[in-house]
Amino acid sequence: MFRFPEGFVWGTATAAYQIEGAARDDGRTPSIWDTFAATPGAVRNGDTGEIACDHYHRLDPDLDLIARLGVGAYRFSISWPRIVPEPGQVNQKGLDFYRRLVDGLHERGVTPYATLYHWDLPQYLEDEGGWVERATAERFAEYADIVHEALADGVAHYTTLNEPWVSAWLGYGYGWHAPGRAEPAAALAATHHLLLGHGLAAEAIRRRDPSAQVGITLNLAPVGPATADPADQAAADRMDGQLNRLFLDPVLRGAYPADVVELYRPVSDFAFVQDGDLATIAAPLDFLGVNYYRPNLAAAEPPGADPVAAGLRLPPGVPVTAMDWPIQPDGLTELLLRLRREYGPVPLYITENGAAFHDYLDPAGRVEDPERIAYLDAHLRAAHTAIGEGVDLRGYFVWSFLDNFEWAEGYSKRFGLIYVEYGSQRRVPKASAGWYRDVIRANGPA
């Protein structure tokens, strides 16, 4: 075994809509994902998160499972419509659930890492325009303040947004995720207002507690050309701009990349950017969360086509996960080194890394998942290499703790360390859960 630095954080992660269920319980109102999942054809097999893993009603046994994994940290998200079910209304029962979650983690020796937004925008805000409207960023800061006031004595680490690229572009640009809009101009406005919401929420939390650790999580990927053709290299630059730099640059440099702004001039004049916004967005981070699953290959897209939706290619001869994502752990090392080289010494956490495979219960009642073990092992080695080359990487969270509702894929894809038999809600630790526990133990005190 190779050892990680002393104090390295070992964790696992989930998101509220993917596991909680209890969609109508204790005052919760619909999110955009409730509405989207109820739309015929939007989600595979018509699956919804109405029940999911029923985590809301199975909190204590699930926390026991987390403790048995041996992790030191658990990253979870908070359901906005469970906390603010109607404009101006605070739902104490929703706050009480997360209080029980946080207290239960501390009782088990696990540090909570709270994510304020993992894609479940209250539907009433979408009815008013959603993230396309500036007011949503302001409402997000108010919600962040409510959560922090309730949980400040139990939570020290806050991620404002999870993967704003997905919220903006899959939700508003391509229509593949909630709220199902396919409008590039709306995606650009949503991008800005999500990032503004991040900045405003960070301000709200730090006003109450300057010692709070506040960051943002971005889904990032190295991007390379599919061939040596200069047209493919230009396509790779465009894809990198839209996927990576459109978010990294304003957060860490205080400016949008000029080439991406020019790329989208035909659909937007960027008038939604107001004086002072970029300073708010670029307030110093306590950490940057990195979600890594795959690198991307880009090929020249047709004129006027989207650089990600139209230009993405699969590398030949590379093994893939059940999501058809290529398994290339060296891309993680490349990404982490790039972040240090181009954006400076911001502390990093890998807030998601994992893979879906075709898991099943065997006749003996076990779930053997050697592919996942090999995947996690290779990516941990890649992360260890980056640390050895000077990257300030402070923790690693496996995605995910439980099999769960995998967004537009419904329940067809299993990422969990714990197998969930959805009909009975029985939990079965996979072989990878034991493997991960052993890795954590091996990295304990010498």
399 is in an annotated binding site: yes
d(CA 417, CA 401): 5
The whole-angstrom separation of Cα 32 and Cα 34 is 5
**pLDDT (mean) for 292-315:** 88
> What is the arithmetic mean of pLDDT over 149-158?
98
Among 76, 78, 81, smallest CA distance to 66 is for 76
Known active-site residue 352: yes
132: Cβ contacts below 8 Å, ≥ 6 apart:
172, 186, 189, 190, 193
Instruction: Exactly one of 352, 389, 409, 421 is catalytic; name it.
Output: 352
Query: Is 406 labelled a binding residue?
Result: yes
Q: Is 203 annotated as a binding residue?
A: no
Give backbone dihedrals phi and psi of 377, rounded to 5 degrees, phi first: -60, -45
**Percentage above 90 pLDDT, the chain:** 95
What is the C-alpha to C-alpha distance for residues 146 and 173, in angstroms, rounded to an integer? 30
**Confidence grade of residue 309 (pLDDT, cut at 50, 70, 90):** confident
Mean pLDDT of 225-237: 95
The pLDDT assigned to 446 comes to 56
pLDDT at residue 2 in the model: 81
pLDDT tens digits, 343-357: 999 999 999 999 999
- Mean pLDDT, range 182-200, rounded to an integer: 98
pLDDT at 312: 84
Cis-peptide into 211, omega within 30 deg: no
* Residue 133 is labelled as binding a ligand: no
Q: For residues 193 and 128, is the Cβ–Cβ distance under 8 A? A: no
| Cα–Cα distance measured from residue 441 to residue 430, given in angstroms and rounded to the nearest whole number | 17
Identify the pLDDT of residue 414.
Answer: 98
Q: How confident is the model at residue 276 (pLDDT cuts 50, 70, 90)?
A: very high
pLDDT band for position 310 (cuts 50, 70, 90):
confident
* Stretch (H or E) spanning 419: strand 418-421
Domains and CATH numbers, the chain: 9-442 (3.20.20.80)
Rounded percentage of the chain residues whose pLDDT exceeds 70:
100
Task: Output the six-digit token pair for 299.
Answer: 């090929």
Residue 353 labelled as part of a binding site: no
Q: Annotated catalytic residue: which of 126, 163, 301, 371?
A: 163
> Quick check: 73 pLDDT over 80?
yes
Q: Specify the pairing of strand 287-291 against strand 213-219.
A: parallel
Give pLDDT, residue 202.
98
- Per-residue pLDDT tens digits for 381-421: 999 999 999 999 999 999 999 999 999 999 999 999 999 99
Quick one: angle between helices 370-388 and 330-343, nearest 10? 30
User: Which SS3 state, helix, strand or coil, does residue 116 take?
Assistant: strand
pLDDT tens-digit profile of 162-176? 999 999 999 999 999
Q: How far apart are the first and last CA of the chain?
A: 13
Q: What are residue 326's phi and psi, to 5 degrees?
A: -65, 140
DSSP 143-174: HHHHHHHHHTTT--EEEEEE-HHIIIIIIIIS
> Distance (Å, rounded) from C-alpha 40 to C-alpha 340?
44
pLDDT, tens digit, 9 for 90 and up, residues 86-132: 999 999 999 999 999 999 999 999 999 999 999 999 999 999 999 99
Cβ contact 192:272 at 8 Å: yes
Report whether pLDDT(445) > 80. no
Reported as a pLDDT band with limits 50, 70 and 90, residue 302 is confident
Q: Which two tokens stand for residue 107?
A: 């009782």
Residue-level pLDDT at 305: 80
Residue 293 known to bind ligand: yes
Average pLDDT score over residue span 245-268 = 97
The backbone torsions φ and ψ at residue 177, rounded to the nearest 5 degrees and listed phi first, read -125, 170
R_g of the chain, CA atoms, integer Å: 21
Residue 163 bears catalytic tag = yes
Q: Is residue 239 pLDDT above 60, yes or no?
A: yes
- Tell me how far apart the alpha carbons of residues 295 and 82 are, in angstroms, rounded to a whole number: 35
17-46 confidence digits (pLDDT tens): 999 999 999 999 999 999 999 999 999 999
1 pLDDT tier (thresholds 50, 70, 90): low
Give the sign of the dihedral formed by CA 395, CA 401, CA 405, CA 409: positive
**Coil/strand/helix, residue 54:** coil
Tell me, rounded to whole angstroms, the distance of Cα 235 from its chain centroid.
25
**Parallel, antiparallel or unpaired: strands 312-313 and 296-298:** antiparallel
Q: What is the pLDDT of residue 316?
A: 87
pLDDT, the chain, mean: 97
